[in-house]
């Protein structure tokens, strides 16, 4: 399979159709020796794919004559779907120059089959230095998904210098100020929420900064900045006795369709046991969070898991159990709607959040950042929290920051480590069993500038 080029379909079969059953359910395709089920490719809840194709029937004659983009730039022809015979051996390679344009709903359906989004090739990294200044980098990572790139499991880590930053986030020099970040839906605007109530919108393409509305309360303990729909939510990430009187968080529509922003408004208070402080629990640490539908899920250490319905603006306690993540997790529709995150033991995990408590279905031990162990004369340590970015098409990037101490020269270097992970959905030849399998794992390490200390990635 050549991403961005052509693909030969070795075999493809159609599932049986019946009233209420999509024509593609139970079907499969064999590409370059791998088995993929059509249900996994085409069933994308909420994208209207069933209705567009005709539930329980065959695709229309017009759609049969179209070329269908399935994933990442490779193509297959929909007439294959009408035959249950193995048509792979005699089928010619498909040339993209022959591909007819797909427009409107057809393009949306193709995007749904590809995971609902284009594959990102770059990651935005924000590095904080020892003066609490924030520098923005735009790092290309597509090379990590190429054959032979980077270090594999068990390999010694190669280090290289970071490219020049694309800009710096403005902050006043007179007061110590920390920022927490989220990436807007355009994939280029960083939303920066200050501990001193400021909101800064930073355009990573132009390097321009603009000022957003002020928050109502300071966030001295930091905040989780969570985008959901048209609004951003800034939830207190660490509550101590000094912040207990403040609201749990605020929300704001920063990008209105007609331009401009609304004001930050406080969100309703959660159940009392979430933020209650006493001699046994003198802090409240929101350790993990994710969004699903209209709900924000948060876990607090030793307190349980809660959800905020952003439509009714009501909180609910889900249970005394905690989410099996550390930091931000992501629900990925094209991966069986599983929730992916980094575990407390620094592994990539996939969790079924429809279970209560959520069930860990996959834990990839290979994603532990063990490459640093074999570095000669250097003791390495990672900072507590990493970043997980979904790039589309089953591709993930894990980013850790840490430091290396040279025992001989007595020096310390800070670094940013990138781990590229490629996952695919496969099934048995019978199509009855589906699983997610890792097919690529590569890593590389960038040295921070001399003053660099900590990195976050988006």
Summarised one tens digit per residue, pLDDT across range 107-156 is 433 343 344 457 899 999 999 988 888 999 999 999 899 876 555 544 55
Identify the band that residue 235 occupies on the pLDDT scale cut at 50, 70 and 90: very high
Cβ 255 vs Cβ 192: under 8 Å: no
Sheet containing 348-352: which strands, arranged edge to edge?
330-332, 338-342, 348-352, 359-364
- Select the more confidently predicted residue: 404 or 264: 264
Identify the band that residue 54 occupies on the pLDDT scale cut at 50, 70 and 90: very low
Identify the band that residue 37 occupies on the pLDDT scale cut at 50, 70 and 90: very low
Q: Which pLDDT score, from 0 to 100, does residue 93 have?
A: 31
pLDDT tens-digit readout, 409-453: 778 889 999 999 999 998 766 667 789 999 989 988 999 998 888
CA 423, 12, 94, 60 torsion-angle sign: negative
- Select the more confidently predicted residue: 280 or 217: 217
Residue given tokens 């532990």 in the structure block: 368
Q: Which pLDDT score, from 0 to 100, does residue 156 have?
A: 59
Nearest to 57 by CA among 26, 23, 80: 23
- The pLDDT of 39-45, averaged and rounded, is 38
Is the pLDDT reported for residue 71 higher than 50?
no
pTM above 0.85, yes or no: no
Bridge partner residues of 364 (DSSP): 348
Whether residue 357 has a cis bond before it, omega within 30° of 0: yes
Q: Which pLDDT score, from 0 to 100, does residue 155 have?
A: 56
Q: Which pLDDT score, from 0 to 100, does residue 152 have?
A: 55
For 146-151, which contacts have Cβ atoms below 8 Å and span 24 or more sequence positions? Answer: 149/442, 149/444, 150/420, 150/442, 150/443, 150/444, 151/371, 151/442, 151/443, 151/444
Write phi, then psi, for 151 (nearest 5 degrees): -105, 140
Question: Measured between alpha carbons, how far is 290 from 306 in angstroms, rounded to an integer?
Answer: 11
Nearest to 157 by CA among 404, 412, 444, 446: 444
- Is residue 82 classed as helix, strand or coil in its secondary structure? helix
Q: Which pLDDT score, from 0 to 100, does residue 148 have?
A: 64
Is the pLDDT reported for residue 392 higher than 50?
yes
Question: Measured between alpha carbons, how far is 241 from 51 in angstroms, rounded to an integer?
Answer: 53
List where CATH 2.120.10 sits in the chain.
Answer: 122-457
Q: What angle do CA 232, 233, 239 make, to 5 degrees?
A: 155
CATH architecture under which domain 122-457 falls: 6 Propeller (2.120)
Nearest to 443 by CA among 69, 155, 39, 194: 155
Nearest to 249 by CA among 273, 275, 223, 229: 223
Question: Measured between alpha carbons, how far is 455 from 134 in angstroms, rounded to an integer?
Answer: 9
- Select the more confidently predicted residue: 157 or 305: 305
Nearest to 110 by CA among 55, 62, 53: 53
Write phi, then psi, for 157 (nearest 5 degrees): -75, 130
Residue given tokens 């900064």 in the structure block: 209
Per-position b or e across 331-347, b if 16+ CB within 10 A of its CB: bbbbbebbbbbbbeebb
Question: Measured between alpha carbons, how far is 431 from 11 in angstroms, rounded to an integer?
Answer: 14
Strands 327-328 and 284-292: parallel
Which range has highest mean pLDDT (16-25, 326-335, 373-382, 449-458)? 326-335
CA R_g for the chain: 24
- The pLDDT of 154-166, averaged and rounded, is 77
Cβ 423 vs Cβ 337: under 8 Å: no
Q: Which pLDDT score, from 0 to 100, does residue 57 have?
A: 34
């Amino acid at each position: 399979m050549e991403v961005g080029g052509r693909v030969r379909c070795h075999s493809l079969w159609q599932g049986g159709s019946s009233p209420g059953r999509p024509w593609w359910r139970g079907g499969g395709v064999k590409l370059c020796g791998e088995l993929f089920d059509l249900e996994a490719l085409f069933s994308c809840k909420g994208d209207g794919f069933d209705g567009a194709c005709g539930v329980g029937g065959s695709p229309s004659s017009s759609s049969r004559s179209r070329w269908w983009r399935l994933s990442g730039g490779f193509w297959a022809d929909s007439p294959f779907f009408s035959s249950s015979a193995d048509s792979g051996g005699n089928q010619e390679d498909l040339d993209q120059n022959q591909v007819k344009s797909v427009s409107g709903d057809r393009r949306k359906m193709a995007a749904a089959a590809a995971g609902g989004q284009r594959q990102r090739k770059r990651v935005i990294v924000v590095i904080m230095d020892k003066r609490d200044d924030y520098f923005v980098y735009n790092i290309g990572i597509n090379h990590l998904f190429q054959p032979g790139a980077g270090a594999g499991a068990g390999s010694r880590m190669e280090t290289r210098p970071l490219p020049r930053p694309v800009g710096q986030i403005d902050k006043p020099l007179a007061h110590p100020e920390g920022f927490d970040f989220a990436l807007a839906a355009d994939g280029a605007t960083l939303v920066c929420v200050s501990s001193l109530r400021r909101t800064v919108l930073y355009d990573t393409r132009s390097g321009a900064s603009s000022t957003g509305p002020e928050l109502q309360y300071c966030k001295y303990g930091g905040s989780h900045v969570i985008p959901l729909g048209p609004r951003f939510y800034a939830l207190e990430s660490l509550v101590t006795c000094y912040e207990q009187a403040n609201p749990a968080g605020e929300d704001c529509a920063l990008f209105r369709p007609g331009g401009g922003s609304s004001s930050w408004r406080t969100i309703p208070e959660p159940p009392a046991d979430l933020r209650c402080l006493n001699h046994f629990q003198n802090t409240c640490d929101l350790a993990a969070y994710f969004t699903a539908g209209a709900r924000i899920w948060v876990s607090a250490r030793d307190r349980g898991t809660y959800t905020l319905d952003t439509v009714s603006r009501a909180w609910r306690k889900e249970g005394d159990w905690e989410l099996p993540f550390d930091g931000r997790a992501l629900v990925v529709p094209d991966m069986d709607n599983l929730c992916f995150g980094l575990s407390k033991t620094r592994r990539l995990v996939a969790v079924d959040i429809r279970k209560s408590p959520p069930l860990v279905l996959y834990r990839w031990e290979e994603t532990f950042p063990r490459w640093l162990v074999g570095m000669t004369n250097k003791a390495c340590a990672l900072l507590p929290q990493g970043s997980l970015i979904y790039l589309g098409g089953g591709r993930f990037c894990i980013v850790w920051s840490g430091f290396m101490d040279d025992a001989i020269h007595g020096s310390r270097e800070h670094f940013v480590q990138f781990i590229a992970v490629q996952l695919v959905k496969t099934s048995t030849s019978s199509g009855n069993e589906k699983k997610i399998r890792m097919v690529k794992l590569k890593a590389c390490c960038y040295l921070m500038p001399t003053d660099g200390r900590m990195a976050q990635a988006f």
